[in-house]
Amino acid sequence: MESLHHPEAKRTLRLALRRQRLALSKHEQRQAALRLCQQLKRLPEIQRAKRISLYLPVNGEIDPTLLLPWLRQRNVDVYLPVLRPLSDNSLWFVNYHATTPMVKNRFGILEPDTRFGAHRHNRLPAWALDTLIVPLVGFDAEANRMGMGGGFYDRSLAFMRRQGPAPALIGVAHACQRVESLPVEPWDVPLTAVVSDESIVRAGKKKS
């Protein structure tokens, strides 16, 4: 079997995992999202967060936005990732409400509109957040994450490889996105945990 460190092997695995989650019906997606949010509510990293980042799901990604009413009830400030203009594939995080103006980015994904300086005062760097809920394509029993391959989160979170305060990173996925093992690259930023609709896997532990 070709090593997953090889770029072509990674591309093949990404494609297979994306197909698996896209094969889920709308009902299966909805039920998985409900179970995911029940799992997330159990986490101390979610319970104590005052500033938290979510994402809007695309291409079969599991939906964490069902958590929004619960977060609003707890007066948690919610942020969404925004592609930084003129940057090397990195992210800002912008405060999000139901009335926030949205625009599609270059990938066709909706994000808060920051053109012409709009909402500039509402954006934060990743280090200012308490917890980030991040999408992934694949994960394993050690909470290693396979992303889309663009490196957006790894670049935005590179500061976490140094000493200092850092947010909790919670990867989320469908259970069918779990694989036996993933390689760890030098630029990978480790997750605190990966939560699926069936399990909570913490870094360095098989399962909880």
Reported as a single tens digit per residue, the pLDDT across 1-28 is: 345 556 678 888 889 999 999 999 999 9
Q: What confidence tens digit (pLDDT) does each residue in 136-189 have? A: 999 999 999 998 767 788 888 888 877 777 899 999 999 999 998 888 877 778
Residue type, 108: G
CA–CA dist 38, 191 (Å, integer): 20
For residue 58, give the nearest of 22, 91, 24, 27 by alpha carbon: 22
Quote the pTM value.
0.88
Q: What does the pLDDT read at residue 1?
A: 37
More confident site: 2 or 29: 29
118 token code pair: 């709009």
| Cα(129)–Cα(115) distance, integer angstroms | 22
Asked if residue 46 lies in contact with residue 170, where contact means CB atoms within 8 angstroms, the answer is yes
Domains by residue range for the chain, with CATH: 7-202 (3.40.50.10420)
Of the two residues 111 and 158, the one the predictor is more confident about is 111
